[in-house]
Structure 1
Amino acid sequence: MATNGTSRPTTAQKLRAMLEDPGKLIVCPGVYDGYTARIALAEGVDCLYMTGAGTTMSVLGMADLGVATMNDMRDNASMIANIDPDTPLIADADTGYGGAIMVGRTVTQYMLAGVAGMHLEDQVVTKRCGHLSGKQLVSVSEYTSRIRAAVMARAAARGDIVLIARTDALQSLGYDGALQRMRAAVGEGADVAFLEGVQTREQAEQFVRDMAPTPCLFNNVPGGVSPDFSVDEARQVGYRIAIYPALGIEVVYPAVRKAVRQLLTEGKVKGVEVDGKRWSPRELFEVCGLRETMEFDVKAGGTAYSKGV
């Protein structure tokens, strides 16, 4: 409750308000830990996306092959969502991590963690990244059961979270089969439609038309099976949400690899310089709230940082 006695909107309410704006495309940079989230927030983004692949890689050091548990994902999402409780976070929830009861628990846990939106897919529990081949799907009835369980859990929790239904059926069942699943999921109460692995701009435009008025989400994975739409192109297609899950993990890989190679071969890291400048610990800590944390301590009567650092 705000100090003036008025209720502050939840991040789920903020996300819904953005979805209700017909002229808005919600652009979500992919983050996977507190540091990448802080960097994105410092740039003024209005929504974040927690990538499941990035979480699996950063938390477990493993490829995105369905090895992350609900606890792994929820804990990471909770940390990211609460860095700035005013900025909505959309988080990957994979398959919901089990049957209907487990899907319900996942939704409840994500809501308690402060997540504004989450997506559930129709792969088997031993899933894989949506831009890899060989994906296996559950039946339509099992998939709709997942969505139904999510809607029921949301209602029982007396809170809110934007439920995004994702299908990976395009690869094996074709467009018509994928569309059937999306419409069935929306019929059960999903708020947003997410066709994974869309293959062409024409197919994307058809999907947006076929799902109207339900808002649709585009997943931009450079090097994957989908077109590398820019923000403007995604807006022109008619998407309402565009997530960029590889944004952080893609740029970190060559930068860190280059720095390690320089250390091993030249004995000095030079590749991180920008215009001849290196970043001091204090400058890096500033991104992660150093100043605000110190000010909080001083206002509370603490003396540890009263003279600065």
Structure 2
Amino acid sequence: MASNPIPSSQETPKAAGQTAAATLRQQLRQTGKIVMAPGVYDGLSARLALNEDFNCLYMTGAGTAASRLGMPDLGCATMDDMLANASMIASLDPRIPLIADADTGYGGPLMVARTVRGYIRAGIAGLHIEDQVVTKRCGHLANKELVDETVFLSRIRAAVMAREELRALSEGVQDIVIIARTDSLESLGYEAAIARLQKAIDIGADVAFLEGMTTRDQCRNVCRDLAPTPVLLNMVVGGITPYLSAKEANDLGFRIIIFPAAALGPVFEHVAQAMKNLKSGAIQKPPGNRGVREHFMLLGLKECMDFDAAAGGVSFTRGA
């Protein structure tokens, strides 16, 4: 981004040939710099974020359920739904790390391992797995149901085992950052939630994710109590966690901040208004005075034309 006062990983250089997971690990090692990842849920929202030079993206599960299924975040999106969406987003610019929601892992240890292997092979840099029941719900809704701690830890252990198997087969090339998420704060309290996360870290999770914090003290304490493990902050505007800017989160000690509704929120507001205007018969004006061609340019039209020409194609010799 042209001007960014936030101490973030936006300036992180990417080594030639480096995997997205390796880049994310490099970003996490940068002391005093927070990884800032806007929430994206389809190719368009991902392109718009990439055009603003974000150096990490987050694929939101709620946004995936909304865009692919037209449904609320109630655990209806399957592993295949999530993997297909994440794979497409990660492919748009393989240099940029994508952290993707993996919900509960979609079953027992064998299913969790299948999920992790699929995410790794798709080039996804990081994923988070939680301790809700398989028929889960958004972390900012009430009355979430949890699995026993032993079940949660079996999910994390399966994820770590699957990653280590692929690392061994590829001599360390295939990798993914495993983020352990707990939704137990609401029902079990802070100490029990921290204990769950610490046990997940002990068996190989790389990052901790305490969902549903309701006070700034909880935000401050989780970073302190789990140090030196990186902690992720889920900044859901309109959710139950107090709003923190990326700078405030960085100052409290968080190493990753995700904004799941960064694209989804404006769609609810602006597209709904556009539909109302269309229904009422109002004249439709190009947003931002941009026409069809300009919109396609934002989606990589020039790069596609250049690639076609370099390969010897003639489809665009007269332009488009």
Partner of 1:287: 298
Q: Say whether 1:99 aligns with 2:108.
A: yes
- The match for 2:193 among 178, 181, 185 is 178
Establish whether residue 299 from structure 1 lines up as the match of residue 316 from structure 2.
no
Q: Please give the alpha-carbon distance, in whole angstroms, between the structure 1 residues aligned to 2:283 and 2:276.
A: 9
Q: CA shift at 1:222, angstroms?
A: 1.2
Q: 1:247, 1:22 → 2: CA distance?
A: 25
Find the residue that maps to 2:128 and give its secondary structure.
strand
2:205 — aligned with what? 190
Shift of 1:199: 1.1
Determine what percentage of the aligned residue pairs are the same residue. Answer: 54
Once the two structures are superposed, residues 147-176 of structure 1 have per-residue CA deviations (whole angstroms, 9 ceiling, x without a partner) of 000000001112210000000000100001
Shift of 1:50: 0.1
Matched, 1:162 2:177: yes
AA at the equivalent of 2:145: Q
CA drift of 1:269 comes to 2.5
Answer whether contact 1:201 1:237 (CA < 8 A) is retained: no
Distance 2:188 2:283 in 1: 52
Per the alignment, residue 141 of structure 1 pairs with 150
Shift of residue 266, structure 1, vs aligned partner: 3.2
- Once residues 278 and 157 of structure 2 are traced to their aligned partners in structure 1, the CA distance between those partners, rounded to angstroms, is 53
Matched, 1:21 2:30: yes
Whether the aligned pair in 2 keeps the contact of 1:69 and 1:97 (CA below 8 Å) is yes
Counterpart for residue 77 of structure 2: 68
Q: How does 1:255-266 map to 2 (within 5 A)?
A: 255-266=270-281
Distance in 2 (alpha carbons) for counterparts of 1:177 and 1:304? 61
RMSD: 1.1
Task: Give per-residue Cα distances to partners, 1:205-237, cap 9 Å, x unaligned.
Answer: 111000000000000011111011111111111
| Superposition deviation, residue 58 in structure 1 | 0.1
Q: Is residue 31 from structure 1 mapped to residue 46 from structure 2 by the alignment? A: no
Shift of 1:306: 1.4
Q: Secondary structure of the residue that 2:189 maps to in structure 1?
A: helix
CA distance in 2, matches of 1:41, 1:20: 22
Q: 2:261 matched to 1:246?
A: yes
2:129 paired residue number: 120
Deviates more, 1:198-207 or 1:104-113: 198-207
Return the offset for 1:136. 0.4
Aligned partner letter, 1:30: G
Amino acid paired to 1:66: G
The 5 Å alignment of 1:196-275 reads 196-270=211-285, 273-274=287-288
Task: Name structure 2 gaps, 5 residues minimum.
Answer: 1-14, 168-173
Alignment partners' CA distance in 2, 1:133 and 1:7:
45
Matched length: 300
Deviation at 1:273, TM superposition (A): 4.1
In structure 2, relative to structure 1, the CA distance for the partners of 1:109 and 1:266 (3 Å cut) is same
- Alpha-carbon separation, structure 2, partners of 1:307 and 1:128: 51
Task: State whether residues 260 and 269 of structure 1, in contact with CA within 8 Å, keep that contact through their aligned partners in structure 2.
Answer: no
- In the other structure, the counterpart of 1:3 is none
Listed as ranges, the gaps of 5+ residues in structure 1 are 1-5
Deviations 1:59-83 (A, max 9, x none): 0111100000000000000000000
Residues in 2 aligned to 1:75 and 1:136: alpha-carbon distance in whole angstroms: 27
| TM-score, with length taken from structure 1 | 0.95
Superposition misfits of 4+ residues, deviation over 2 angstroms: none
> In structure 2, what is the equivalent of residue 54 of structure 1?
63
Q: Supply the distance in 1 between the matched residues of 2:28 and 2:95 (Cα, whole angstroms).
A: 16
Deviation at 1:7, TM superposition (A): 6.0
